[in-house]
Amino acid sequence: MSVLLNEVRKGFYLDSVALMRLSAELSALSGIEEAVLMIGTPSNLQIMRDADILDSAGEEAGPNDLVIAIRADRKASTNRALAHAEKAMKGNSAAGKATEHRARTLRGSHASNPDANLTLISTPGEYAGIEANSALDLGLNVMIFSDNVPLERELELKQRARDLDLLVMGPDCGTAYINGVPLAFANAVNKGSTGVIAASGTGLQEFSVLLHRAGGGIKHGIGVGGRDLSDSIGGISTLSAIDLLANDDEVEQIVLISKPPGEATAKAIFDKLAACGKPVIACVFGLSASQIPDGISCTQTLREAAELTHRQSANAADPTETNTTPDLHNLASELTIPTGAQSLVGLYTGGTLCTEALLILGRAGLSCSSNTSKEGLDSTAQYQLIDLGADEYTVGRPHPMIEPAVRTPLLQQAVNDKNVAVILLDLVLGFGAHEDPAAEVVSALTAAEANKPLVVASVCGTDKDPQDYQRQRAALEAAGVIVCNSNSEAAELCALILEPR
Partner 1 sequence: MGHKAQVIIAGKIALDLLCTPSTGIVHAVFQRTFYLRKTGTLTPAPPITTGNNARQSFTGQPSARAVSQPALLCCIGQAELERGPLNVRTTLNDITHVTVGDEWSCDQQLVSIGNIELDLSRAKIWLPTPLQQSAVPDPQSVALLARFLEINTPQPQVQHRINEMINEQLINAVKQLQQWLDHYQNQGGQPAIHFPDHLLGCGDGLTPAGDDIVVGVLLAMRAWKMPALDLLVAEVTDRLDTTSDISAAHLLAACSGSGIAPLHQLIDCVGTRDGNQLEYKFNNSRHSRKHEQIQSAATALCSYGHSSGYHAMQGVLLAARHQQLWPL
Closest CB 103 distance from partner 1, rounded Å: 7
Pairing of strands 191-198, 218-223: parallel
Q: Which is nearer to partner 1, 198 or 444 (CB)?
A: 444
Q: Which is nearer to partner 1, 52 or 477 (CB)?
A: 52
Neighbours of 322 (CB within 10 A): 7
Cβ proximity of 460 and 427 under 8 Å? yes
Closest CB 146 distance from partner 1, rounded Å: 12
Q: Look at residue 109 and give its three-state secondary structure.
A: helix
Specify which residues 54 forms β-bridges with.
none
φ, ψ dihedrals at 356, nearest 5°: -60, -45
Gap between the Cα atoms of 427 and 206, Å rounded: 11
Cβ proximity of 250 and 197 under 8 Å? no
Q: Which is nearer to partner 1, 103 or 317 (CB)?
A: 103
Q: Which is nearer to partner 1, 19 or 138 (CB)?
A: 19
Closest CB 41 distance from partner 1, rounded Å: 3
Closest CB 369 distance from partner 1, rounded Å: 17
CA 176 vs. chain centroid, Å, equals 13
Q: Look at residue 426 and give its three-state secondary structure.
A: strand
Cβ proximity of 47 and 68 under 8 Å? no
Please report, as ranges, the residues that interact with partner 1 according to CB under 8 A. 11, 13-21, 23-24, 27-28, 34, 36-39, 41-44, 46-48, 50-51, 53, 63-64, 92-93, 95-99, 102-104, 123-124, 148, 391-392, 395-397, 403, 405-406, 409
Total count of residues recorded for the chain: 501
Specify which residues 428 forms β-bridges with.
460
Q: Which is nearer to partner 1, 319 or 409 (CB)?
A: 409
Q: Which is nearer to partner 1, 113 or 367 (CB)?
A: 113
Gap between the Cα atoms of 220 and 223, Å rounded: 10
Closest CB 150 distance from partner 1, rounded Å: 10
Neighbours of 363 (CB within 10 A): 12
Closest CB 236 distance from partner 1, rounded Å: 25
Cβ proximity of 425 and 346 under 8 Å? yes
Gap between the Cα atoms of 369 and 353, Å rounded: 15
Q: Which is nearer to partner 1, 16 or 56 (CB)?
A: 16
Question: Of 492, 324, 501, 478, whose CA–CA distance to 422 is shortest?
Answer: 492
Q: Which is nearer to partner 1, 105 or 179 (CB)?
A: 105
Closest CB 347 distance from partner 1, rounded Å: 14
Closest CB 121 distance from partner 1, rounded Å: 13
Cβ proximity of 497 and 490 under 8 Å? no
